[in-house]
Structure 1
Amino acid sequence: MSTATCAAVQPPHPDAEEYEALLQFLYMAPVGLVQLSSDGSILMLNPLSAQLLMPLSRDGELTNLFEALAPVAPDLRQLCAAYTAPSGQVCDATRLFLHADNVGSGPQVLSLSLLKLDGARLMAVLSDITVQDRRERQLRNTDAWLNAIMTNIADYALASLDRQGRIESWNDSIGRVTGYDAAVVGQPYALFYPDDATTPAQQADRLREADENGWTLDEGLRRRADGSQFWGSAMITPLPGRAEEDNAVPAYCMIIRDISDKREISQSLRQAAYCDHLTGLFNRRAFFEAADVELARRKKSPRPVALIMLDADHFKRINDHYGHPAGDEVLRQLATAMRGVCRQVDVLARIGGEEFAVLLPSVDLDDAMAVAERLLAQVRQAPASYESQQIAYTVSLGVAMMDDDVSGFDGLLTRADQALYLAKRSGRNRVACWRPGLEEGGR
């Protein structure tokens, strides 16, 4: 590792004992400490910070903190530049989401606090809060479950489901909330979801998760009989006393609640935790959490999972020529193009500065390539617009599939990244698919 370390800094104070004590403190500190210059150059770091940051280094070197954290905190440099006070706290306990090492383990989560010491120096404090973050997510899920059964208890649709998730009987509550009549009997419960908001595999996943956990809850758009949509929560719980061999006995209870009046609050909380502030897509945290869930489901019930990695070609030139506000608008309009091409069930995320990803559940390679080609064509046909200027830009895309030879989500991400790099090497403005042998030519 080529970087400054605690021991490599010359004592700035004449009291050698005091300086040695300071070095000993930095070395033994239970958190990662990094001193850096205003441009991000690392002046000093302790061993724990090097350990936490090393997974972000592609070349084994840590010389600039802004560059090292760019994949997980792309706006950090701008955040520091915008902080004009002579000293103070630039950010406090900002969460950084790294790759998941194993399916089901979730992403590693780091906490970053950044202090401005003076006009030339910054101090970063890093700690691993992966376990704490996982516990907080579990508590949020429990709170959502309690809220679902205790709030507006009179305003719900109650449906019984058979073992395959088909609606077993109709009642007035279904008609009151959704407008459907008795013709829904025998239909899959996906009837209450917009067409592209779920897949048959995910519907089966929810039933299995209800069996394993005692309940499952999801929130999002729901569909009424007349085609209109509302914001609702759907809880599924297994019914007691059901016989494995008796398909005539209802197996699950499904409760759908119209929570449209709470959507704004729910969305605000969700955006604060899971959305990229610039584009409105999922952020890195939400992306890795969703990928972790999808691959854990795939492990229990095999199905295709595809990943598309893409970024805007020559984006630095756009920023240099038109200015950063115009560059931001290009990224926003790229996000709009992605929404127009992809399904609601797909996971669309901004995971770096101009780098984006799309996770495609239950999509095979041919269909994933078709999605990527449609997105490529959409961007070609619709230049971005900023202050009456038309900004033509292109994207490069890499496509990869999950299979039994891939080691966790990191392996799938690496394959898609190698395919993206192939698209760039081949001239940009194109789609490339991962194939064996790209390992040697990948990044």
Structure 2
Amino acid sequence: MTVGYFGNPKEPRPNVPAGYHLQPIDVASTSPADGLEVCIVSVTPDDAGTGLRRVRAAVGDMCFVIAYVRDGLGVDWMPRLVELGADDVLSETTADQLGLVLKKAEKAADFRKLMQQSLSRLETERNILQAAIDNLPSPIFFKNRQGIYSGCNTAFSRFIGLPADQVKGASVYDVAPEHLAKVYKEADEKLMQKGGSQFYEAEVCYANGEERHVMFSKAVTRDPSTGEVNGLAGAMLDITDRKELEEQLRRAAEFDHLTGAYNRRKFFKSAGEAEAEARENGAGLAVLVIDVDNFKSINDRHGHAIGDGALCHLVEQLGEHLREGHFFARAGGEEFFALLKDCDVDQAAEIAESIRRRIETSIFSESGVVLSYHVSIGVAALEQDETVSSALMRADKALYRAKEVGRNRVFVA
């Protein structure tokens, strides 16, 4: 085994046991890349610190450095030499122990070599893992127990708007507005104290200004030897498309696709809630059944596109005219239902008449066609213990009486 030696050429070299070869080294031309495993440094009072530091810098941390103390340097210097970079210390008076020290150095060198190999494998595995998560579209991040980012993938870096090397070592206060950072910090700390995992949805804004819906999935990480929580790992799953589909399904379930008004299903659901509320607080509740007069003739004369436009025009007028708290929906065809909260029959009749006049005096124009039309309306106020469905039946009968006597009228049940 070759043992490096650094010292004054005029001084006698220590005698190394058989099997070892003492090779003088030039600090200026030696580097850690040379892979020297053991080195003996001759230490004198004049250059004790300087010599050790120079050699340690030249051979690197993987080399086992033995300080060989010359006369004139007392034993009280030995702990200081270890602090300066020596792994072991020998004096001229204990030179006969050099063989034992070299055996220790060999074992230490072998151990360090194994450690280096392990670190190299870990680095390779880490690089493979990093490359894998960098190719995932979902932002992924890691934090230590203090809430400091210890790593992330490319998608998270893109989300934050900072390079990964700037995210690492940063806190949420470094990458997010203070009011949000405080919320994130408290949530992370709560999770790490409680343990387990955490899932929630949130709207986030990317660094490029793009707003997305995401599902956060976070879980604590633990020290494999102690089981103590040592941080957390998190991922952000983009659910924007799913949320948009959910909204489309919700609208399909609640809204009429042609006019944008609520549909019959949504009307009866809301009406049931309003009915229960009215019974509880004793408030009045009334319904209107609104029907476009002679709607078939509009379709026959101008086409279904104009007829559809007329229905949309009616919905616009109802939306602008009915106050907040009232509710209307397309029941089907050219018929609409309205639910009036806190209204008795006289108030409901007044609202119905104002709707009739508004439609009668409004002008609808589309694709060069200008026309006016009118509606007939049946009115009913819920009687004691009566359901909305029953009141609608009475209002519908009133509507047909209005049509029988000439249309463009309001009749009360």
- Normalised by the shorter chain, which TM-score bucket? 0.3 to 0.5
Report which of the two structures shows the higher radius of gyration computed on alpha carbons: 2
Greater relative contact order: 1 or 2 (C-alpha under 8 angstroms, separation 6 or more)?
1
Could you state the TM-score of these two structures normalised by the residue count of structure 2?
A: 0.40
